[in-house]
Structure 1
Amino acid sequence: MSPALSAPTVHVRAPGKLNLYFRVGSVMDDGYHEVASAYQAVSLFEDVWARADPNFTVEFGGPIDTSELEVDDSNLALRAARLLAAHTGYTGGVRLRIEKNVPIAGGMGGGSADAAATLVACDALWQTRVSREELHELAAQLGADVPFALMGGTAVGTGRGDELSPALAQGNFHWVLVPSDRGLSTPAVYRELDQHRIRHTGAITPAPVKPVVDSFVLQSLRAGNPEMLADCIQNDLQAAALQMAPELVDTLELGEGNGALAGIVSGSGPTVAFLTADSESAIDLQVALSLRGHHALRVTSPAPGARVVL
């Protein structure tokens, strides 16, 4: 298959995510951890524009400082584009422009959203007509969170987080996010979790052999009840993230002291997510956090997965 002589620009939008419940098993022989996660996509999106080009290139824009992001073949979006081209036999390239809104290295899967959006954008641009099942398989080769960014909505993830089962969720949940000026490396947070468990052997619950998502989490989502959900959100990576970024403790206490039903470090952090009772409560919390000097964002969940914007 060869590139079209004249191709339009394709615009795709993909969501960031929250891990509402995240259990991490002990480290396996391959160095990875088996996990069990309840994912929800949130209304904070990455926007990707794709245009046919002889080469594979990417540039960034948006409200987030992207000056440190790689634009060579190590970039996950470019890897996604090359993977799709190799899979389909497409012989051209693509010029990508990505507007970033999801915090970088913030535990919300922004890079994964870029990759998922790129798969969808290039498939539409190149007219390769890859099935959704094939796209999911390609996404899983790129990273554990990429398949969920492709899928969106609400899901349970097992294995490395990429084995997804859709979950029912009623209505919308209202969140206030507090990004951090610093990023945290996901592998580094996992290593700190392993060390934390070693340091506190006997004082904390051992790592689960086969982690699962608590059924009460799924009941709370099906009921659309934020108060129920607040009682059961959990993140095994939070202790490690707080050890590496202790200032997040103050952020959590501030949010929970100003009306949040619960606060949690998102994924590997350092973004902190506060669950609120409704939209009015979210506005009040956003104002309270802003007055204390925090950049606070209001979002809702669930949100749709990667899709073409017409």
Structure 2
Amino acid sequence: MIGLKSVVARAPGKINVSLEVGPPREDGYHSVATIYLAVSLFEDVRASERMDSEFTISLHPDSAPFADPETFPLGKDNLVVRAADELRRYTGVTMGADLEVTKRVPIAGGMGGGSADAAAALVACNALWDCGLNREELAVVGAKLGADIPFALFGGAAVGLGIGDQVSPMLLRRSTYWVLVPASYGLSTPEVYRTLDKLRADQDVEAPHEVDIDTVQALVTADVNALGLNLRNDMEQAAIHLAPEIDTVIGTGERLGAVRGIVSGSGPTIAFLAESKTHAEQLRTLINEELDVDALVVSGPANGAAVVNHHAVFRGN
């Protein structure tokens, strides 16, 4: 038997407390001004040493409630493999890795689950290969693959500008509590952006350059009433256009006592702001009974990507 090192890293999903979206740019992206909030729903990636330079990717059995093993992409195009490969090119490492993903964040749900996977892969492989990169350097690598990856590395709360990759951390004084209602389907982020552009075709939309200061202040102080009044997501109208039932779910949650409901990112996951942890637990029960769903209680801010376990694994010769 051969002893090889294995490293597990964990990264958080996120919600966008505020998301302003500009018109399409010449490079195909959209300028945004957003407030990211990492929440206590995490993706895990285990990276194990190989004796060659190949990559493999697999889905942990515990992912079954959150990801369908039959449809989850397990090829070289998976963001986990691409992140590991990009780190290898950046550092000059020649080793490969076996990569195992444990999914908990809804797929195509607007919560940055893929970005969390990539961030966890970067942290895990950085430790596995002894690359020695710090979080800022890993963010440079991650930004080549996706605008949300740098935030998943840092976690907490942050203002995101540019295409979301210009991340400025925020220091929050208290946590806020949310009830997440995942959908049984996903929405393609590019399709939601295209729909938004079509819906705003006759409007004069300017590129955002800053976030709303009242929203920042409400989140910093955890003033849930003020925060509820200031939640904003420009993507919401497009998500509802593609999946009209989203509007019904938001209305139901607010009727049952949520401070406010909002589409998370490009959707279709819905985040309901609660007054407290106790209120969130009560709200989850009511929503589950009314809508026959498996809602989740989360809090934010949550920590960014980090190693949570490392040990030797043993394989046959």
Aligned to 1:29: 26
Aligned to 1:304: 303
Tell me the secondary structure at the aligned position of residue 215 of structure 2: helix
Tell me the secondary structure at the aligned position of residue 251 of structure 2: helix
Q: Structure 2 vs 1, CA of residues 127 and 7 (structure 1 numbering), >3 Å: closer, same or farther?
A: farther
Tell me the secondary structure at the aligned position of residue 230 of structure 2: coil
Instruction: Check the 8 A contact 1:145/1:161 in 2, yes or no.
Output: yes
- Measure the CA separation in 2 of the matches of 1:92 and 1:147: 24
Aligned to 1:286: 284
Aligned to 2:315: none
State the 1:84 CA deviation: 0.7
Listed as ranges, the gaps of 5+ residues in structure 1 are none
| Counterpart AA for 2:33 | A
Aligned to 2:274: 276
| Counterpart AA for 1:60 | L
Tell me the secondary structure at the aligned position of residue 131 of structure 2: coil
1:190 counterpart (190, 193, 197): 193
State the 1:190 CA deviation: 0.2
Q: Which residues of 2 match residues 194-233 of structure 1 at below 5 A?
A: 194-198=197-201, 201=202, 206-233=204-231
Tell me the secondary structure at the aligned position of residue 172 of structure 2: coil
State the 1:71 CA deviation: 1.1
Aligned to 1:103: 106
- Measure the CA separation in 2 of the matches of 1:265 and 1:222: 21
After the TM superposition, which segments of 4 or more aligned residues of structure 1 sit over 6 Å from their partners?
none
State the 1:258 CA deviation: 0.6
Aligned to 1:254: 252
Whether 1:87 aligns to 2:86 is no
Instruction: Check the 8 A contact 1:13/1:46 in 2, yes or no.
Output: yes
TM-score (structure 1 length as normaliser): 0.95
Tell me the secondary structure at the aligned position of residue 271 of structure 2: strand
State the 1:131 CA deviation: 2.5
Aligned to 1:159: 162
Tell me the secondary structure at the aligned position of residue 252 of structure 1: helix
- Measure the CA separation in 1 of the matches of 2:73 and 2:105: 16
State the 1:88 CA deviation: 1.1
TM-align CA RMSD: 1.2
- Measure the CA separation in 2 of the matches of 1:15 and 1:220: 22
State the 1:209 CA deviation: 2.8
Listed as ranges, the gaps of 5+ residues in structure 2 are 310-317
Q: Which residues of 2 match residues 61-76 of structure 1 at below 5 A?
A: 61=60, 62=63, 63-66=65-68, 67-76=70-79
Instruction: Check the 8 A contact 2:21/2:207 in 1, yes or no.
Output: no
State the 1:6 CA deviation: 4.7
2:14 counterpart (11, 14, 17): 17
Aligned to 1:264: 262
Aligned to 2:38: 41
| Counterpart AA for 2:66 | I
TM-score (structure 2 length as normaliser): 0.93
Tell me the secondary structure at the aligned position of residue 287 of structure 1: helix
- Measure the CA separation in 1 of the matches of 2:269 and 2:78: 22
- Measure the CA separation in 2 of the matches of 1:119 and 1:264: 30
